[in-house]
């Protein structure tokens, strides 16, 4: 029997670690948190120092029982959840569950990398649980519960049940909504640019394009066409020559290795990955990948960090590789240092880097999925490039003067590639070199204008946030931390407050309304500086500088009076700048089962309501509600016509006598678009069973008709009903991603269908009840929604 027990979070990590520790160690996984606040009540004793009421998470009793059983016979117990605040809280909760009799043999260990050396270093350096870090996590959890549990119900009455407000997520939503308002209010201003093509010293081979920059030594602004025409008239009279040539060497610094936010931003720009997808993939690379004969091994260091520093050993390993592959000239001349960030919540860890530079992306590609390989390649190349020399350019700036006007042309030529030999940053501007000037030019060289090209331009509104830019803004403002950026963005999307359109984050109507209500009723609580100040306070708790309950007490002093006012009179100012077309009263935005709509403020005296759409400038345009589509089909229950109606679940065939008659039917459209009842289409299905090759038939179930194999029970194939090109009924054959795994227990996820549509669910149900929304990729594959 094993003498030592090691407890980690992930089953995948447990497998990797057990390989290195040998038979005297037993490695078990807690599968994340084991205790949390209850979901059906506040779970925080506000009157008694904000003490949390922890309960065992549903499904974790057996996990804890197994851990307690192993702990009884173990000589030493090493708690090794992830090396951050969440991990510290998990270790603390597990230690509490193992009981006082085991306390003397419990130690905390940290694995910054899941390699033989990283694991041995951790086991050889055990420490006590860092209660300051655990309390920092606890105070964050309690803060989030206080805001979420007490504020969210206030949204239910004016909007709909189940909406939620998050302490940090609502600030991110506010940023996105305010940016959208800036765009809508933006008034473009006209301006003109004038480029000139100049022939130098009458040499046809020496032509130079330059832009008008100054008049009388001052920056020139050309606002209207009339102004541009006047400038052009002056230019045609002037004689031009080169009046200044400035040459210098400029350096482009090698990039720093990745911190968490830098990785999320770069993966978004270069790979198109969401923050959530990046972190899930990085977690797998950290926990360990099976490398064939080498066995499971962690490929990167811990992926939640604010730090960009690296160990001396890692720097030497990179230097040896660079000298071997590129030569000594490509090696950095000194260690780079980053500017001090506002916060360093996770500075105990190194930057994100490969655990071994010798494991090049090409050498492990066959063991990784496509997305794992791309992310590992990004991390590996970024780290190696960070230890390479700066890129060197020869830059020249040429001034051409004619009368009162000055044109400038600037170009640079790459003299020494340095780190760019391996890596170019994803920021588009970092990849654009100015137009190179390849010939030597001296001052006083005649410059004959061949043509002038005036162009009308308009100032552009601020850009919508991308995932990369919102993460950058959150980090700059001190909102959230490395471990929270991905959840912040995914949460506001899952709540349908924000949607992604053309890779840009845009608030939905629901998101706008929620933000408007929260900001108008809690202006300070969801304010950027206030939220950032709270984050700094939590950092001080982690450092042991302040007590966790003092931070909560200070927060609640400002939160309580605002909450009391909101609970008495929740301000709902959702008026529109339009009058009711029915009675002339004001219009307000309301929210129903099918989303937001405009309604008369004089309801119930006036029952006018209408759908609406938001214009580019943010104004509201009323639109007519779609009429129910006539089908000519008679309801078999009441004799009235069946019509196609729009519902929150999509289009449905229902009786026009609703609500007296609630009959609904399954239908399909033929090749002419005509509606037909499925139950009347009893013709033999031409498509053979894709599972056994037998015949398929329409069958009736609790939720309507479906297609099944006539060979049941030997063949259990079933499918939803669709139509082929000829309008005949056929099975709906879906291309499902079979590689989707449950991130909670590691079991395969399967595509299921419920009352609200399809979703992925864990096959370990009911032991694991994890479920995820779906998305359809470009090739038609159905997979988990990011």
Higher pLDDT, 604 or 136: 136
CB 489 within 8 A of CB 148: no
Q: In the predicted model, what is the mean pLDDT of residues 118-130?
A: 93
Q: In the predicted model, what is the mean pLDDT of residues 421-436?
A: 66
Q: In the predicted model, what is the mean pLDDT of residues 343-372?
A: 85
Q: Give the sheet arrangement for strand 620-623, strand by strand.
A: 575-579, 586-592, 595-600, 609-614, 620-623
527-559 tens-digit pLDDT? 999 999 999 999 999 999 999 999 999 999 999
* Average pLDDT for the chain: 88
pLDDT at 683 > cutoff 90? no
The whole-number pLDDT of residue 344 equals 46
User: Taking the CB of residue 515, how many other CB atoms lie within 10 A of it?
Assistant: 25
**pLDDT class of 346 with cuts at 50, 70, 90:** very low
Q: In the predicted model, what is the mean pLDDT of residues 670-685?
A: 67
Least confident of 112-126, 336-350, 709-723: 336-350
Q: In the predicted model, what is the mean pLDDT of residues 352-381?
A: 96
Query: Rounded to two decimals, what is the model's pTM?
Result: 0.77
pLDDT at 237 > cutoff 70? yes
155-204 tens-digit pLDDT? 988 888 888 999 999 999 999 999 999 999 999 999 999 999 999 988 88
- Terminal Cα-to-Cα distance of the chain (whole angstroms): 43
The whole-number pLDDT of residue 470 equals 95
Catalytic residues: 302
pLDDT at 429 > cutoff 70? no
The whole-number pLDDT of residue 553 equals 95
CB 538 within 8 A of CB 643: no
Whats the size of the chain, residue-wise? 786
Which strand (E) or helix (H) includes residue 675?
A: strand 675-677
The whole-number pLDDT of residue 336 equals 60
Let me know if 347 is exposed, middle or buried by CB neighbors in 10 A (0-12, 13-18, 19+). Answer: middle
Measure the CA–CA gap between 747 and 510, rounded to whole angstroms.
35
Q: For residue 635, which of 666, 663, 660 has the smallest C-alpha distance?
A: 663
Question: Which pair of structure tokens corresponds to residue 221?
Answer: 């602004």
Q: In the predicted model, what is the mean pLDDT of residues 416-421?
A: 95
Q: Which range, 388-402, 673-687, 701-715, 740-754, has the best average confidence (pLDDT)?
A: 388-402
Least confident of 31-45, 312-326, 663-677: 663-677
Question: Which pair of structure tokens corresponds to residue 583?
Answer: 């009675």
Question: Which residues are CB-neighbours of 397 under 8 A, at least 6 positions away?
Answer: 244, 245, 246, 408, 409, 410
**pLDDT class of 205 with cuts at 50, 70, 90:** confident
Measure the CA–CA gap between 361 and 677, rounded to whole angstroms.
56
**pLDDT class of 679 with cuts at 50, 70, 90:** low
Measure the CA–CA gap between 417 and 395, rounded to whole angstroms.
14
Which strand (E) or helix (H) includes residue 76?
A: strand 76-79
Which strand (E) or helix (H) includes residue 250?
A: strand 240-252
**pLDDT class of 711 with cuts at 50, 70, 90:** confident
Query: For residue 490, how many C-alpha atoms fall within 13 Å in the half-sphere facing its CB?
Result: 18
The alpha-helical segments, DSSP class H, found in 454-597 are 467-477, 485-494, 509-521, 528-543, 548-568
Higher pLDDT, 467 or 738: 467
Which strand (E) or helix (H) includes residue 614?
A: strand 609-614
**3-class DSSP state of 486:** helix
Q: For residue 704, which of 739, 729, 736 has the smallest C-alpha distance?
A: 729
CB 192 within 8 A of CB 625: no
The whole-number pLDDT of residue 731 equals 78
Residue 361, sorted as left (phi over 0), alpha (psi -120 to 50) or beta, turns out to be alpha
Higher pLDDT, 614 or 678: 614
CA distances from 747 to 30, 184, 365 (A): 15, 46, 24
Measure the CA–CA gap between 176 and 494, rounded to whole angstroms.
15
CA distances from 525 to 77, 186, 480, 561, 645 (A): 42, 28, 15, 11, 42
633-651 tens-digit pLDDT? 899 899 899 998 876 566 7
pLDDT at 665 > cutoff 80? yes
The whole-number pLDDT of residue 670 equals 67
Measure the CA–CA gap between 504 and 550, rounded to whole angstroms.
40
The whole-number pLDDT of residue 733 equals 75
**pLDDT class of 719 with cuts at 50, 70, 90:** confident
The whole-number pLDDT of residue 480 equals 87
The whole-number pLDDT of residue 337 equals 54
Domains and CATH numbers, the chain: 4-129 (3.40.50.140), 140-186+463-568 (1.10.460.10), 190-253+391-458 (2.70.20.10), 260-386 (1.10.290.10), 575-623 (no CATH), 735-784 (no CATH)
Q: Give the sheet arrangement for strand 749-754, strand by strand.
A: 749-754, 757-762, 771-772
The whole-number pLDDT of residue 341 equals 46
């Amino acid at each position: 029997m094993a003498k030592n027990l090691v407890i980690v979070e992930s089953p995948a990590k447990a497998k990797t670690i057990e390989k290195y520790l040998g038979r005297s160690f037993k490695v078990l996984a807690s599968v994340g948190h084991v205790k949390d606040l209850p979901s059906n009540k506040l779970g925080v004793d506000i009157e008694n120092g904000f003490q949390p009421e922890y309960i065992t998470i549903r499904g974790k009793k057996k996990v804890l029982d197994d851990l307690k059983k192993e702990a009884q016979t173990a000589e030493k117990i090493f708690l090794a959840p992830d090396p951050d605040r969440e991990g510290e809280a998990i270790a603390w909760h597990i230690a509490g569950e193992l009981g006082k009799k085991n306390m003397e043999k419990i130690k905390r260990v940290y694995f910054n990398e899941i390699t033989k050396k990283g694991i041995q270093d951790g086991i050889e350096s055990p420490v006590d649980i860092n209660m300051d870090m655990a309390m920092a996590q606890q105070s964050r959890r309690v803060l989030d519960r206080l805001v979420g549990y007490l504020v969210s119900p206030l949204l239910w009455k004016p909007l709909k049940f189940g909406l939620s407000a998050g302490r940090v997520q609502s600030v991110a939503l506010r940023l996105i909504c305010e940016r959208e308002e800036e765009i809508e209010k933006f008034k473009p201003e006209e301006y003109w640019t004038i480029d000139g093509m100049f022939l130098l010293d009458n040499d046809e081979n020496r032509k130079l394009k330059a832009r008008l920059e100054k008049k009388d030594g001052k920056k020139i602004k050309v606002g209207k066409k009339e102004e541009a025409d006047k400038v052009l008239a002056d230019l045609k009279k002037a004689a031009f020559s080169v009046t200044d040539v400035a040459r210098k060497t400029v350096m482009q610094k090698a990039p720093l290795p990745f911190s968490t936010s830098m990785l999320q931003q770069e993966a978004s720009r270069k790979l198109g990955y969401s923050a959530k997808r990046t972190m899930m993939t990085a977690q797998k690379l950290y926990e360990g990948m099976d490398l064939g004969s080498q066995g499971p091994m962690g490929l990167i260091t811990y992926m939640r960090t604010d730090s960009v520093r690296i160990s001396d050993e890692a720097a030497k390993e990179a230097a040896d590789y660079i000298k071997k592959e590129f030569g000594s000239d490509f090696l950095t001349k000194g260690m780079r240092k980053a500017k001090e960030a506002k916060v360093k919540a996770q500075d105990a860890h190194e930057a994100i880097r490969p655990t071994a530079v010798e494991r090049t992306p090409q050498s492990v590609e066959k063991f990784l999925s496509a997305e794992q390989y791309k992310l590992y390649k990004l991390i590996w190349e970024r780290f190696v490039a960070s230890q390479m020399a700066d890129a060197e350019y020869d830059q020249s700036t040429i001034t051409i003067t004619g009368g009162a006007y000055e044109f400038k042309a600037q170009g640079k030529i790459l003299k020494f590639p340095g780190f760019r030999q391996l890596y170019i940053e994803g920021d588009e501007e970092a990849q654009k070199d100015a137009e190179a000037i390849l010939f030597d030019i001296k001052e006083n060289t005649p410059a004959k204008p061949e043509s002038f090209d005036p162009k009308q331009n308009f100032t552009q509104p601020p850009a919508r946030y991308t995932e990369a830019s919102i993460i950058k803004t959150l980090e700059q403002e001190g909102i959230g931390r490395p471990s929270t950026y991905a959840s912040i963005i995914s949460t506001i999307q899952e709540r349908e407050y924000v949607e992604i359109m053309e890779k840009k984050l845009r608030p939905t109507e629901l998101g706008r309304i929620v933000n408007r209500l929260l900001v108008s009723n809690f202006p300070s609580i969801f304010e950027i500086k206030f939220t950032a100040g709270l984050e700094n306070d939590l950092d001080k708790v982690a450092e042991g500088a302040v007590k966790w309950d003092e931070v909560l007490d200070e927060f609640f002093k400002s939160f309580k009076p605002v909450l009391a006012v909101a609970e008495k009179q929740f301000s709902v100012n959702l008026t529109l700048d339009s009058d009711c077309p029915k009675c002339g009263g004001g219009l307000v935005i309301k929210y129903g089962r099918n989303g937001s709509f405009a309604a008369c403020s004089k309801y119930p005296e006036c029952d006018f309501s209408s759908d609406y759409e938001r214009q580019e400038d943010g104004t509201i345009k009323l639109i007519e509600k779609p009429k129910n589509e006539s089908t000519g089909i008679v309801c078999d229950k009441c004799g009235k016509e069946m019509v196609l109606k729009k519902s929150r679940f999509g289009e449905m065939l229902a009786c026009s006598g609703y609500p007296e008659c609630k009959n609904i039917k399954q239908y399909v459209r033929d090749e002419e678009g005509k509606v037909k009842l499925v139950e009347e289409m009893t013709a033999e299905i031409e498509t053979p069973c894709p599972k056994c090759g037998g015949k398929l038939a329409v069958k009736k179930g609790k939720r309507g008709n479906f297609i099944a194999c006539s060979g049941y029970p030997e063949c259990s194939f079933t499918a939803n009903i669709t139509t082929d090109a000829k309008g005949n009924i056929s099975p709906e054959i879906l291309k499902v991603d079979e590689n989707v795994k449950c991130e909670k227990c590691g079991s395969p996820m399967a595509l299921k269908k419920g009352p609200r549509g399809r979703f992925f669910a864990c096959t370990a149900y009911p032991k694991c009840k994890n479920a995820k929304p779906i998305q359809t990729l470009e090739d038609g594959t159905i997979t988990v929604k990011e």
